[in-house]
Amino acid sequence: MDKSYSSVTESDIYQSWESSGAFTPKIDKKKKPFSIILPLPNANDPMHMGHALFTIEDILIRYHRMLGEPTLWLPGSDHAGIETQFVFEKMLQKEGKSRFDYDRQTLYQMIWGFVEKNRTLNQFQMKKLGFSMDWTRYHYSLETPIVDNVLATFKKLYDDGLIYRDEKIVNYCTFCGTAFSNLEVVHKSVDSHLWYFKYPVVGQKDRYVTVATTRPETMLGDTAVAVNPKDKRYLDLKNQKILLPLVNREIPIIFEETVDIKFGTGAVKVTPSHSPEDYDMGKIHGLEFIRIFDYDGRSNQNVPLKYRGLFPNQVRQMVIDDLTAAGLMEKIKDYTHEVGHCYRCSRPIEPITAPQWYVKIAPLAKPAIDAAKTGKVKFFPVRFKKTYIDWMENIRDWNISRQIVWGPRIPAWYCLDCHPQIKVNFLDKNKKIVSGFYKDLKGKYSVEEIKNGLQSLVAPVDVSFMVEESIQCSKCHSSAVIQETDTFDTWFLSGQWPLNTLGFNPKDPSKSSPDFGYFYPTSVMDTLWDILFFWVARMIMFGLYLAKDVPFKTVHLHSRVVDARGQKMSKSKGNVIDPLVMTEKYGTDALRMSLVYGIAPASDFVVSEDKIRAQRNFVNKIWNASRFVLMIIERFVEKNPKLNISTTIDISKLNDDDKNILTNLNSIISSTTTNIDKYRFGQASENLYQFFWHDFCDIYIEKAKDRGEDVIPVLLTVLINSLKLLHPFIPFVTESVYQILRDKAGLEEPQLVTASWPKEIKL
């Protein structure tokens, strides 16, 4: 609202709504509820245009509230594991520090404090945008009861045999210091080269096998060369060995059908510890796994001395130089290929073997696929159903462990006395980093000192663990028991969000809160399509697994906001339009309207200041038209101080103009209702705009200027019904106008936010 028109501010109106209790639904078993769980924003993140699109949810919520349904919009915010830690580490970096300067308890406390400072900011901002959320039911993902539930879910999965540890090849970012799921890897096309190396065959002078590779540096970890058994060029190499150059290790030649005869030379160097395909080959052929890069990104003791302690690109150059010098470089060709990059820091991902925690996903995915196929969960737009099912049918086991601090730790405990081969990293009393195997450190450091200064531990996959917290080992009764330092993938927690925010009890579902029984499954999950797999799919799986029902009946995927050049808005590109700046400049109503006006579902759409300005003019129009109606009423009251204002329409007294506008009103009531029901917000807002501005203002009101007081009932009826229809889109101005009208014309309903949705008028 343009502030110059009224002394009532948007925040006054918001407060009056909130304090009236309008946002807090009352459970009424006789009525069907309507509920939406807010896609939880990151707690440390200020709002951007993407969040402003929650306007769509507010439209649904306000509409259903006006229909008289007990309506819940449940807000919350997420600790956002890796995202937040990444932001925090950037701050540390500016101070010349790093995460390695702190033990994990201290680091956790520091991040906690950082998030607490920012956590209320986006709440304030959501209120600015007029979102009618039930703040009495607000949740934060690290609240103790929520975390307890998440840990209980882990326990249940474990008891059901769906949790396991394995040392597979994972997507590891050595800069972020953690593994990622496949979804978190961004594939980018990179211009590089194919290097052709000659590997000598053992015992055969001048017989070489030439391999082609994009990653020369990994050759130090080769443990085989693979050729296709049908490849005639290599038939003589059965049972022969290769002498790996630079390393002088004898490695076998294996025959593997998956090797493409046509690619390169048809011979592949095999590095099982640093390539996903080679890992599979290594498993099938029982090859040696030699990991040559450590989790800090540097080469380790598994390579010859001169190559140790270096980053991959440094090793690459040395290997190329040394092979060239040895006359083993056959040729170098240009080659473009896809390389995985960290979605967080954009550095190349190092495929690396590491022990991780996994969820067996197939048993969870199956019911979630069925739910989509049978329509228990509906998708809008429907094309996303196919995307969802395709993805779910090809899903792989879910790596839920992250080697970061910020987030709940995986509830598993190891006994260091039973498993002295566990490696620990910690800060000693003097704050110096100590790394090593427990068996070597045992005499020198107490368990307490290790625990207090702990940064991380690495436990081989064959060690046993306990899933109940205890002070003693259940086998040897040692008190050297230490908790896993891996934390959960954020989505493991947020995947259970609808359950946990509504008070589901995973230990005993019958003891869940009344909210859960009433509001679950929720009505709609509205979110951006880019977290369909990350979040929506996981919520469906967890919902069905834990509560035996889907978490929401409809998934509505909304559009993505892009800039005028079609680019995704992001801080690093500097093309962000700040919704709060727009709110200040043009009013919240104008911003909201511009976010839904004329948009198609789930396609990118452009927000520009022009568009917002156009909607500001519309909001002004509403204000001014209302002022005109008020003026007519005031004149009437001056002349007839003792008469009441009537909104009752006497059909026999209507002229053609009256009949026309009322017919149009009826049709806009019915079209707006179906358009919102079918998520056609763009159409709904366009029709309303057209009706109000042209049918009502330009035609009816213009003609009304020449008429007497008899115009008042129709004028008021159309205005009030229009305000109601517009209210979900344009809440502030409509409410403020309505309340003035209420006082002048003696209307019954106290506020628009809880007023009844219009019904067609009988003519």
Partner RNA sequence: GAAUCUGUAGCUCAGUUGGUUAGAGCGCAUCAUUGACAUUGAUGAGGUCAGAGGUUCAAGUCCUCUCAGAUUCACCA
Residues 277-306 binding RNA (CB under 7 A) are 277, 280
**From candidates 262, 432, 639, 642, binder to RNA by CB under 7 A:** 262
**Tokens coding 109:** 């406390």
DSSP state of 644: P
210 CB contacts (<8 Å, ≥6 apart)? 196, 197, 198, 199, 265, 267, 330
| Least Cβ distance, residue 596 to RNA (angstroms) | 11
User: Where does residue 432 fall: left (phi above 0), alpha (psi -120 to 50 degrees), or beta otherwise?
Assistant: beta
**627 binds RNA, rule: CB under 7 A:** yes
**309 binds RNA, rule: CB under 7 A:** no
Residues 79-118 binding RNA (CB under 7 A) are none
Binding-residue pattern over the window 241 to 260 for RNA, x denoting contact by CB under 7 A: -----------------xxx
**599 binds RNA, rule: CB under 7 A:** yes
Look up residue 585 and give its amino acid. K
| Least Cβ distance, residue 306 to RNA (angstroms) | 23
Rank residues 133 and 701 by Cβ distance to RNA and give the closer one: 701
**From candidates 34, 689, 732, 738, binder to RNA by CB under 7 A:** 689
**133 binds RNA, rule: CB under 7 A:** no
Write b or e for each residue in 122-145: b if 16 or more Cβ atoms lie within 10 A of its Cβ, otherwise e.
Answer: bbebbbbbbbbbbbebebbbbeee
Supply the Cα-derived Rg of the chain in whole angstroms. Answer: 33
Burial of 397 (0-12, 13-18, 19+ CB in 10 A): middle
Contact between 401 and 490 under an 8 Å Cβ cutoff? The reply is no
Rank residues 226 and 422 by Cβ distance to RNA and give the closer one: 226
308 CB contacts (<8 Å, ≥6 apart)? 298, 299, 300, 301
Rank residues 164 and 391 by Cβ distance to RNA and give the closer one: 391
Rank residues 230 and 396 by Cβ distance to RNA and give the closer one: 396
Segment near RNA (CB under 7 A); pick from 62-70, 149-157, 400-408, 607-615 = 607-615
Rank residues 46 and 276 by Cβ distance to RNA and give the closer one: 276
Rank residues 480 and 561 by Cβ distance to RNA and give the closer one: 561
Residues 168-187 binding RNA (CB under 7 A) are 182-183, 185-187
**From candidates 296, 604, 650, 677, binder to RNA by CB under 7 A:** 604
Distances in Å between the Cα of 592 and the Cα atoms of 231, 469, 673 are 64, 49, 19
Distances in Å between the Cα of 193 and the Cα atoms of 186, 214, 337, 512 are 20, 6, 9, 59
Rank residues 465 and 689 by Cβ distance to RNA and give the closer one: 689
**From candidates 76, 130, 221, 264, binder to RNA by CB under 7 A:** 264
Contact between 84 and 57 under an 8 Å Cβ cutoff? The reply is no
**53 binds RNA, rule: CB under 7 A:** no
Residues 488-517 binding RNA (CB under 7 A) are none
**From candidates 530, 549, 584, 677, binder to RNA by CB under 7 A:** 530
Task: Give the integer Cα–Cα distance in Å for 639 and 372.
Answer: 64
| Least Cβ distance, residue 682 to RNA (angstroms) | 5
Contact between 210 and 198 under an 8 Å Cβ cutoff? The reply is yes
397 CB contacts (<8 Å, ≥6 apart)? 358, 359, 360, 361
Rank residues 97 and 678 by Cβ distance to RNA and give the closer one: 678
CA-closest candidate to residue 527, choices 103, 60, 184: 60
Segment near RNA (CB under 7 A); pick from 308-316, 382-390, 458-466, 584-592 = 382-390
Residues 444-463 binding RNA (CB under 7 A) are none
How many residues are present in the chain? Answer: 763
**533 binds RNA, rule: CB under 7 A:** yes
Residues 185-214 binding RNA (CB under 7 A) are 185-187, 211-214
| Least Cβ distance, residue 199 to RNA (angstroms) | 12
Rank residues 33 and 264 by Cβ distance to RNA and give the closer one: 264
Binding-residue pattern over the window 327 to 366 for RNA, x denoting contact by CB under 7 A: ----------xx----------------------------
**419 binds RNA, rule: CB under 7 A:** no
**Tokens coding 528:** 């951006």
**313 binds RNA, rule: CB under 7 A:** no
Rank residues 321 and 530 by Cβ distance to RNA and give the closer one: 530
**564 binds RNA, rule: CB under 7 A:** yes
Rank residues 294 and 686 by Cβ distance to RNA and give the closer one: 686
65 CB contacts (<8 Å, ≥6 apart)? 22, 34, 71, 132, 753, 754
Task: Give the integer Cα–Cα distance in Å for 667 and 722.
Answer: 12
